[in-house]
Structure 1
Amino acid sequence: MTDALLQTHWDVIVIGTGIGGGTAGRALAEAGLKTLFLEKGPAGYRAERTALSHEVFLPEARLTRGFWPGQIVARQNGTESRFFGPLGAGVGGSSVFYAATLERPEPHDLDDSPEKPHPTGGWPVSFDAFAPYIERAERLYHISGDPHAPGQDHLAPARPLSPADQRIAERLRRNGHAPYALHSAIRHVDGCLGCLGKCPLPCKMDGRSAGVEPALATGNAALLDHCDVTRLRTRDAQITQIEARHHGRPVTLTARHVLLAGGAFGSPRLCLASTSEAHPKGLANSSGLVGRNLMFHLNELFALWPGTSDPAPSKAIGLRDLYHLNGQRLGMVQAMGVSASYGEIAYYLRTLIDRSALRHIPLAGELSRIPAAAAAKLLGSAKIFVGLLEDMPYAENRVLPPDPGSDDIAFTYTLHPELAARRRAFRRAISRAFRGQRRMFLNHAPDLNHGHPTGTMRFGTDPATSVLTPWGRAHDHPNLWVADAGFMPTSMGVNPSLTIAAQALRTADAIKDSLT
């Protein structure tokens, strides 16, 4: 079977199986196109339940569990740190570990007008043009939750709020705010716990359950797991060959079109590694912007005590009142779906240590157990919330070319003064919004959300200032496409997953049109 897959000339080969690759691949397979998914990690077993862990260090062990095997090497404001990021490498990518919160952006995220110019020039697609694809993605992922804008009548009803969430929401309303039930990609299935991590039940909709599995069921798609793509070959600007290692064995594959969906880290790394005499700067890189304009969200974590003994973590409340406040681009606030237990606190402290100078101290990570136990006792029944602060693109913030044979992901990032100023304003706004409720910020220093990288292969109309066309095709290559978070010219103030899925559907439509 594997040899037959390797010898087939496909209509489309999709590299990566997360939200973008899974969504686009399903749309292509359902349109009758011969589609092959390539995934670096394993397919895994549908019955397994696995949470993303920071405690697994061996690359082979990490890959077996569906975690990205290498470390993140971050040079932030001139200081280098190494740590394991919240990234997946298996069917479904990182999405199989996420909390399944899929929120649509606000119109001001995409629209740019002379009256309200976007600080980075805006998107090449208006919100009204993008909205039908957002709705298609919401239906595809079975989104439930409270409508907070016109045109969301198709959402499934939200689950009832827990007593603790009801109390938090009522206090927010008394402060003049409008909390709502978060938009969740979790179908109501008997026995569903809405858990983080891989789940054996078909309730959580992710790149695997909403993308790859339905695509394979059509009979038009196939999957090669344990397939590490190392290089793309070109002739006359066309992508002609995909070089990879399948279970360690060199293989070559061909397709009429190639769709990159390895994420805002993975896709630019592959393009930068695919240098040649014709493309000395890598593929799709005539603008020199591949890997640049790297953005994250800044996490503003805080604990909230609802004043009840409800032990369940808060996972249902969202607040958009601070999203675009007094002309400032801030972001939304949402429950994280985790409780302030010893395990979560120890994980967080260990992550902070790995990103700091303390990582050089022997057993520093083990010493985090003592303050974690003390913090768990102090926080008790607290619920954990996060504010997602919008980041802006700067060309010097970028993913670096990969070292040959290494799975480490290296990037350099400078936190600009305007971001630091907006962060201070965001924290003040959060404190005002939640006044009257016992609360405590959990991070003092800026905390980049390494699970939300975006912007490294931005789309636009001008080949000199963008990598992709508005439909996701590389300006430089007529049969190379991208459907992951790299396309985004701004990070917006929400989780990027739903926006990635919507753009993946747009890109799939464009590929179908080009083939028919």
Structure 2
Amino acid sequence: MDDLTSREWDAIVIGTGVGGGSVGRSLAEAGLSVLFVEKGPDLGDEPPMALEIGDSDPAHRLARGAWPRLLEFELDGRQIETDGMVGAAVGGTSIYYAATLERPERHDLEPVEGRPHPTGGWVVGHDAFRPWFEAAERNFHINGEIDPLASERGELPPPLEPLPASDAALIADLRRTGMHPYRTHMATRLAPASDGAAPQVQKMHGRSAGVTPALKTGRAALIDRCTVTRIEADGRAVTGLTCLRDGQSLTLRARRYVLSAGGLGSPTLMLRSASEYWPGGLGNRHDLVGRNLMFHLSEILALWTRDAHRDLTAMRSISMRDLYYMHGQRFGTVQSMGLTAGYGEILYAMQKRFDLSSLRRVRMLRHGLRIPAVVATRAMGKAKLFVGVLEDLPYSHNRVLPDPDDGERLRFHYHIADELHQRRAAFRAALRRAFQPHRAMFTTTAPELNFAHPCGTLRFGKDEKASVLDADCRVHGLENLYVADSSFMPTSNGVNPSLTIAANALRVGARIAAEMQPRLAAVSSLGY
């Protein structure tokens, strides 16, 4: 450990998710020395062990790669504590994700005729991002089919896994009704099995697509189970990191620092690193750090197909963008979840609807819902679950608010805007129309925030008074601190943010490497 903590690294990357893993790999492959610092353990590339529902024990949670504390937040005036699917392990939250990585639309990043962006803010446009999208797709081994509605058609390797018969029938049905389904873009590859068996499909995430390739260069190292408690900085630059590992305090130093602790973790750490130079928190001279918090809303739909009575194979195989932008409304992608719904899910959905009805006080009727749930399951079989990803937009009052007494608690305040309620209602109506030829039912009634998709809390931009980061994702006022996670995004777009995070991280890594080329050349001339 001493050899890791005593030297000055070219770059230290805080966090090892999609962003941290990608930027660290980029820097190591460019010839820089890189130290990854991860709060959680290194669990390998195997899926993490499942947590018991409601498990709030910090040690249990951290051992399984989850953030040690439950999320605590105020939602429309209600105080809530929940498990937000925030990861704390090598690979970050991406060890939990479903590995669906897709590009945003051009009009997500810049105005397009007929489809203006409602807020702007993307100071780097779609064309500038394109080569980084392509590089990220290669790193994460993205495979699938090109969206037939795409105005700009790229190339992808074909899907790795065959389409289940029930999904093939559903795609045919959807196409007959005028929809345009395609095979979801998946971050997976065929990896040889250790025992010589047939190759297995491996999910690509922050560890497998980022940290592991970086370590293989011989220029990167990893410290896991290490919590960064403060970023030390003077008025111009970061001077070091104060960390805690196994009860021991550590100080780490580098020439460049990249913060990639996530849309909630990164602003929390910056706000907790207040000092005489930065009394309101690092980069927070204009009270913007932690503001403009966005998620996505998830609309989950149970869909019964013609083959519903069969034992359906659950795969995340179908995506559609027919509803992405409709009649001036910004909605998002619709995807199969790789899950099926039976009696329990149907009963739960019926109970949620009942609890919002005028009959909710007649509890006997609520118990009676078990009978129609059984009848529906026997008559229609299992359903495939689809999710509609509804874009969120930035509002300054939605913000991260660190706990003054608990440094490991992620806290925030969020109010669902009236326009988001209205767009949600329109999106649900569009989903009903799109799936009208099929038997379908929403499994959710109240708005469901996707806590795995926090973004926007350290937005980038040209104006220091309106953004935390510059166009290169360097913190305004600090010459050696960068951010490479979802925090930089000024809007959330209508797709899973992972590919955008990875692409931007590679872009940031290239910028840092270009800055440090003179030093690399000098080191090389000395024979190191």
What TM-score comes out, normalization by structure 1 length? 0.90
- Cα distance in 1 for partners of 2:201, 2:254 equals 31
CA offsets 1:168-188 (integer angstroms, 9 cap, x no match): 212211221100000000113
Give the match's secondary structure for 2:3. Answer: helix
- Cα distance in 1 for partners of 2:14, 2:349 equals 31
Question: Please, which runs of 5 or more residues in structure 2 have no aligned partner?
Answer: 357-366, 518-528
Match of 1:388 in 2: 389
1:78 to 1:374, Cα distance in 2 relative to 1, 3 A: farther
CA offsets 1:347-398 (integer angstroms, 9 cap, x no match): 9999x9xxx9xxxxxxxxxx9xx99x97995784211110000000000000
- Cα distance in 1 for partners of 2:120, 2:48 equals 43
Give the aligned residue type for 1:284: G
Give the aligned residue type for 1:407: E
- More deviation, 291-300/337-346: 337-346
Match of 2:95 in 1: 96
User: What RMSD, in angstroms, separates the aligned Cα atoms of the two structures?
Assistant: 2.6
% of aligned pairs identical? 49
Alpha-carbon shift at residue 112 of structure 1 (Å): 2.4
Match of 1:450 in 2: 451
Alpha-carbon shift at residue 116 of structure 1 (Å): 4.8
Match of 1:177 in 2: 179
Match of 2:165 in 1: 163
- Cα distance in 1 for partners of 2:295, 2:385 equals 20
Give the aligned residue type for 2:179: H
Contact kept in structure 2, 1:52 and 1:86, CA below 8 Å: no
Match of 2:485 in 1: 484
Give the aligned residue type for 1:145: G
Alpha-carbon shift at residue 33 of structure 1 (Å): 0.5
- Cα distance in 1 for partners of 2:343, 2:409 equals 29
Match of 2:430 in 1: 429
Give the match's secondary structure for 2:420. Answer: helix
- Cα distance in 2 for partners of 1:296, 1:376 equals 33
- Cα distance in 1 for partners of 2:441, 2:193 equals 34
Q: How does 1:184-199 map to 2 (within 5 A)?
A: 184-189=186-191
Contact kept in structure 2, 1:457 and 1:488, CA below 8 Å: yes
Q: How does 1:134-149 map to 2 (within 5 A)?
A: 134-148=133-147, 149=150
Alpha-carbon shift at residue 201 of structure 1 (Å): 6.3
Contact kept in structure 1, 2:188 and 2:203, CA below 8 Å: yes
1:446 to 1:313, Cα distance in 2 relative to 1, 3 A: same
Alpha-carbon shift at residue 234 of structure 1 (Å): 1.1
Match of 1:28 in 2: 27
CA offsets 1:168-227 (integer angstroms, 9 cap, x no match): 2122112211000000001134679xxxxxxx9671110010000111111100000010
Give the match's secondary structure for 1:395. Answer: coil
Give the aligned residue type for 1:155: P
Match of 1:461 in 2: 462
- Cα distance in 2 for partners of 1:188, 1:72 equals 35
Q: How does 1:268-307 map to 2 (within 5 A)?
A: 268-307=267-306
Match of 2:225 in 1: 226
Alpha-carbon shift at residue 74 of structure 1 (Å): 1.6
**Equivalent residues, number:** 491
Alpha-carbon shift at residue 292 of structure 1 (Å): 0.4
Match of 2:472 in 1: 471
The answer to whether residue 214 in structure 2 is matched with residue 215 in structure 1 is yes
- Cα distance in 2 for partners of 1:52, 1:202 equals 24
Give the match's secondary structure for 1:383. Answer: strand
1:140 to 1:28, Cα distance in 2 relative to 1, 3 A: same
Give the match's secondary structure for 1:121. Answer: coil
1:53 to 1:507, Cα distance in 2 relative to 1, 3 A: farther
Contact kept in structure 2, 1:74 and 1:410, CA below 8 Å: yes
Give the aligned residue type for 2:277: A
* Higher Cα Rg, which structure: 2
1:119 to 1:53, Cα distance in 2 relative to 1, 3 A: farther
Alpha-carbon shift at residue 459 of structure 1 (Å): 0.6
What TM-score comes out, normalization by structure 2 length? 0.88
Give the aligned residue type for 1:184: M
- Cα distance in 1 for partners of 2:217, 2:96 equals 25
Contact kept in structure 2, 1:138 and 1:155, CA below 8 Å: no
- Cα distance in 1 for partners of 2:441, 2:256 equals 51
- More deviation, 406-415/501-510: 406-415
Give the aligned residue type for 1:391: D
- Cα distance in 1 for partners of 2:206, 2:321 equals 26
CA offsets 1:442-496 (integer angstroms, 9 cap, x no match): 0001111111111000011111111111221111211000000000000000000
CA offsets 1:148-173 (integer angstroms, 9 cap, x no match): 23342243445332111112212211
Contact kept in structure 2, 1:51 and 1:97, CA below 8 Å: no
- Cα distance in 1 for partners of 2:294, 2:39 equals 24
1:134 to 1:176, Cα distance in 2 relative to 1, 3 A: same
Q: How does 1:44-83 map to 2 (within 5 A)?
A: 44-46=43-45, 50-51=49-50, 54-83=53-82
1:201 to 1:266, Cα distance in 2 relative to 1, 3 A: farther
The answer to whether residue 506 in structure 2 is matched with residue 501 in structure 1 is no
Give the match's secondary structure for 1:256. Answer: strand
Alpha-carbon shift at residue 284 of structure 1 (Å): 1.2
Q: How does 1:124-135 map to 2 (within 5 A)?
A: 124-135=123-134
- Cα distance in 2 for partners of 1:129, 1:58 equals 45
- More deviation, 157-166/496-505: 157-166
- More deviation, 202-211/260-269: 202-211
- Cα distance in 1 for partners of 2:418, 2:462 equals 29
Contact kept in structure 1, 2:235 and 2:477, CA below 8 Å: no
- Cα distance in 2 for partners of 1:454, 1:344 equals 30
Match of 1:512 in 2: 513
Give the match's secondary structure for 2:187. Answer: coil
Contact kept in structure 2, 1:226 and 1:246, CA below 8 Å: yes
Give the match's secondary structure for 2:252. Answer: strand
- Cα distance in 2 for partners of 1:316, 1:428 equals 24
Give the aligned residue type for 2:172: E
